[in-house]
Homo-oligomer: A and B are copies of this chain.
Amino acid sequence: MLEAIGLKSAEDLFDSIPQDLLLKRPLNTPAALSEIELLNRFEKMGRRNAAARRPSFLGGGAYSHYIPTIVDHIISRSEFFTAYTPYQPEISQGTLQTIFEFQTLVCQLTGMEVANASMYDGSTALAEAVLMAERVTRRSKVIATSSVHPQYLEVVHTYVQHAGIDLEVVPFDARTGQSAAALAKAVDDHTAALVVQSPNFFGCVEDLSALSDAAHAKGALLVVAVTEAMSLGLLKSPGACGADIVVAEGQSFGVPLSFGGPYVGLFATRDKYARQIPGRLVGEAYDKKGHRGFVLTLATREQHIRREKATSNICTNEGLIALAATVYLETMGRRGIQEAAHQCLQKAAYAARRIASLDGFLLPFSGPRFNEFVVRGPLDAGALLARLGKEKGIEGGIPLWRFFTDRPNDFLVCVTEINSRDEIDALVEGLSEVSNR
Residues of A participating in the B interface, judged by any CB pair closer than 8 Å: 35-36, 66, 68-69, 73, 76-78, 418
Query: Within the complex, which residue of B35, B76, B78 is in contact with A68, where a contact is CB–CB below 8 Å?
Result: B35
Query: Within the complex, which residue of B35, B66, B77 is in contact with A36, where a contact is CB–CB below 8 Å?
Result: B66
Q: Shortest Cβ distance from A340 into chain B, in angstroms?
A: 11
Give CA–CA (A78, B73) in the complex, Å. 9
- Cβ contacts under 8 Å, A78 to chain B: 77
Query: Within the complex, which residue of B35, B36, B73 is in contact with A76, where a contact is CB–CB below 8 Å?
Result: B73
- Assess the A35–B73 pair: CB atoms within 8 A: no
Chain B minimum-CB-distance residue to A79: B77
Q: A73-B76, A76-B73 are in contact. Are A418 and B66 (CB under 8 A)?
A: no
- Assess the B35–A418 pair: CB atoms within 8 A: no
- Assess the A418–B36 pair: CB atoms within 8 A: yes
Give CA–CA (A42, B401) in the complex, Å. 40
Can you give 9 contacting A-B residue pairs, CB < 8 Å?
A: A35-B66, A35-B68, A35-B69, A36-B66, A36-B418, A73-B76, A76-B76, A77-B77, A77-B78
- Cβ contacts under 8 Å, A77 to chain B: 77-78
Q: Shortest Cβ distance from A414 into chain B, in angstroms?
A: 17
- Cβ contacts under 8 Å, A418 to chain B: 36
Chain B minimum-CB-distance residue to A38: B69
- Cβ contacts under 8 Å, A68 to chain B: 35
- Shortest 3 CB-CB contacts between residues of A and residues of B: A36-B66, A35-B69, A35-B68
Give CA–CA (A66, B39) in the complex, Å. 12
Give CA–CA (A73, B76) in the complex, Å. 9
- Cβ contacts under 8 Å, A76 to chain B: 73, 76
Q: Shortest Cβ distance from A40 into chain B, in angstroms?
A: 9
Q: Shortest Cβ distance from A407 into chain B, in angstroms?
A: 34
Chain B minimum-CB-distance residue to A67: B35
Chain B minimum-CB-distance residue to A417: B36
Give CA–CA (A73, B69) in the complex, Å. 15
Q: Shortest Cβ distance from A315 into chain B, in angstroms?
A: 29
Give CA–CA (A68, B36) in the complex, Å. 9
- Cβ contacts under 8 Å, A69 to chain B: 35
- Cβ contacts under 8 Å, A36 to chain B: 66, 418
Q: Shortest Cβ distance from A37 into chain B, in angstroms?
A: 10
Q: Shortest Cβ distance from A327 into chain B, in angstroms?
A: 14
- Cβ contacts under 8 Å, A66 to chain B: 35-36
Given A35-B66, A35-B69, A77-B78, 6 other A-B residues pairs in contact with their CB atoms under 8 A: A35-B68, A36-B66, A36-B418, A73-B76, A76-B76, A77-B77
Q: Shortest Cβ distance from A220 into chain B, in angstroms?
A: 44
Give CA–CA (A305, B249) in the complex, Å. 61
